């Protein structure tokens, strides 16, 4: 089972409680909008995990750990004491989160304004340039890449393969990409998750 959710930051009660580590990390962010997005994404991830586990969000504690440096204020998120996978993302006033019994990743991006060739492999760049809307194609590819990286716990973008002979892959290594354009939000916002089959229904 997988639970995924998308919301505007304003729809999440950002005054709700975070852990001390989360609060300290959040308070180091300079802009208020970034602090609100951080809070909203962490609360949404907790809400998704709570629904998956059949518990109240307040019963759950979200923590992160970085496999590279060992720090606990960033890196792959998890729920203390529970065998679940969670992932979260935020961009320009929107947040998305997913919780699953299997590895999962989620990413939301607003439509790209340019195609940064340096961030892409040659086949990726070639494929994007052949699409009728290269900016949309780049945003889709990048969103899938980010979601796949999170699902695998990687941080290296070159480790993600989301292109096949026919273009964007619809699945990869038994994981499924689900993409959606949230209703009632700027069409520029695109989301994508990698999770178990069947893919989740989004809350909205």
The token pair that represents 40 in the structure block: 């909203």
Residue 129 found at the interface with Zn ion (CB under 5 A): no
Which lies closer to Zn ion via its Cβ, residue 58 or residue 71? Answer: 71
Q: Closest Cα partner for 150 from 1, 40, 4, 39?
A: 4
User: Read out DSSP for 123-159?
Assistant: HHHHHHHHSSSHHHHHHHHHHHHHHHHHHHT---GGG
Which lies closer to Zn ion via its Cβ, residue 66 or residue 117? Answer: 66
User: Is residue 29 classed exposed, middle or buried when 0-12, 13-18 and 19+ CB atoms within 10 A define those classes?
Assistant: middle
Q: Which of 15, 31, 54, 68 binds Zn ion (CB under 5 A)?
A: 68
User: Read out DSSP for 15-29?
Assistant: TS---HHHHHHHHT-
Residue 156 found at the interface with Zn ion (CB under 5 A): no
Min dist CB 72 to Zn ion, Å, is 9
Residue 72 found at the interface with Zn ion (CB under 5 A): no
Q: Among 66-74, 120-128, 147-155, 158-166, which window interacts with Zn ion (CB under 5 A)?
A: 66-74
Which lies closer to Zn ion via its Cβ, residue 68 or residue 118? Answer: 68
Which lies closer to Zn ion via its Cβ, residue 76 or residue 102? Answer: 76
Q: Which residues bind Zn ion (CB under 5 A)?
A: 66, 68-69, 71
């Amino acid at each position: 089972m997988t639970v995924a959710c998308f919301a505007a930051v304003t729809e999440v009660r950002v005054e709700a409680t975070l852990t001390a580590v989360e609060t300290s990390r959040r308070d180091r962010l300079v802009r208020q909008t970034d602090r609100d997005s951080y809070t909203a994404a962490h609360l949404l991830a907790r809400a998704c995990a709570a629904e998956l586990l059949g518990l109240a969000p307040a019963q759950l504690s979200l923590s992160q750990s970085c496999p590279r440096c060992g720090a606990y204020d960033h890196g792959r998120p998890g729920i203390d004491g529970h065998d679940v996978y969670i992932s979260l993302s935020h961009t320009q006033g929107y947040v998305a989160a997913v919780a699953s019994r299997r590895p999962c990743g989620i990413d939301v991006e607003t439509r790209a304004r340019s195609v940064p060739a340096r961030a892409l492999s040659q086949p990726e760049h070639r494929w994007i340039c052949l699409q009728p809307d290269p900016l949309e194609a780049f945003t889709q590819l990048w969103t899938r890449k980010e979601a796949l990286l999170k699902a695998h716990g990687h941080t290296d973008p070159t480790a993600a393969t989301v292109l096949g002979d026919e273009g964007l892959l619809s699945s990869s290594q038994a994981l499924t990409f689900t993409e959606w354009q949230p209703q009632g939000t700027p069409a520029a916002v695109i989301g994508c998750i990698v999770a178990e089959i069947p893919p989740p229904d989004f809350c909205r």
